[in-house]
Amino acid sequence: MRRLYYTHNINPRVAVATARYLKAPVEFIRIQPKGADEEMIRPFNPNTLAPVLVEDDGTSLWETDAITLRLAKLTGSDFWQTDRLDEMLQWVSWSAHHFTRAGGTYAFENVTMVNVPGWTRNVAALAEAEADLRQLGPILDRVLAGRDWLVGSRLSYADFRVATALPFAEAAGIPIDGYGNIRRWYDRLNQLEAWREPFAGLA
């Protein structure tokens, strides 16, 4: 069976949520890619990062977006809405380079690294992320006015991808209060068990 190696960080969370939403035939394996499992995972991902999808023949695929596209193909799902691929890539790119980049800074500084001995928060990076979100939050909120999902009239991977950092919003202090359309959209996502609790029953 294919193996999906993951951690509980923001990008692997999206990969696991997608796999569970699509009911993909994979074995979920939690790893420590920068710890005890670094050398084990290196042949599959030279970056020694999660997530990584390993096929039965030992070939591997890394990076969340590539993995989720592969899973959609494997399950015969149109979760990537390939008939509207340009719009999908617009939102995937916007997430990576703008919205989740800013939100991910909060998650990294205030959640991921907070218990690492000797770690000091990068105040300048957080200030930059806060400024970015003051611009990006209203953009997303306006786009979501009068629509349920980002691409077309149904849920797609674009929604999962743009929401990547939002499960960490409360713990990380990501400033999204006051955006009613974002809140309603995210509440709809949270009705999906695969999104809300992707690690339920897993390590």
pTM of the entire structure?
A: 0.95
Domains of the chain: 2-77 (3.40.30.10), 82-192 (1.20.1050.10)
**Digit-coded pLDDT (tens) for 54-95:** 999 999 999 999 999 999 999 999 999 999 999 999 999 999
pLDDT the model gives residue 203 = 84
**Digit-coded pLDDT (tens) for 125-171:** 999 999 999 999 999 999 999 899 999 999 999 999 999 999 999 99
Q: What is the DSSP track for the chain?
A: -EEEEE-SSHHHHHHHHHHHHTT--EEEEE--TTTTTHHHHTTT-TT--S-EEE-TTS-EEESHHHHHHHHHHHHT--TT-GGGHHHHHHHHHHIIIIIHHHHHHHHIIIIISTTSTT----HHHHHHHHHHHHHHHHHHHHHTTT-SSSSTTS--HHHHHHTTTGGGHHHHT---TT-HHHHHHHHHHTTSHHHH-TTTT--
**Digit-coded pLDDT (tens) for 17-44:** 999 999 999 999 999 999 999 999 999 9
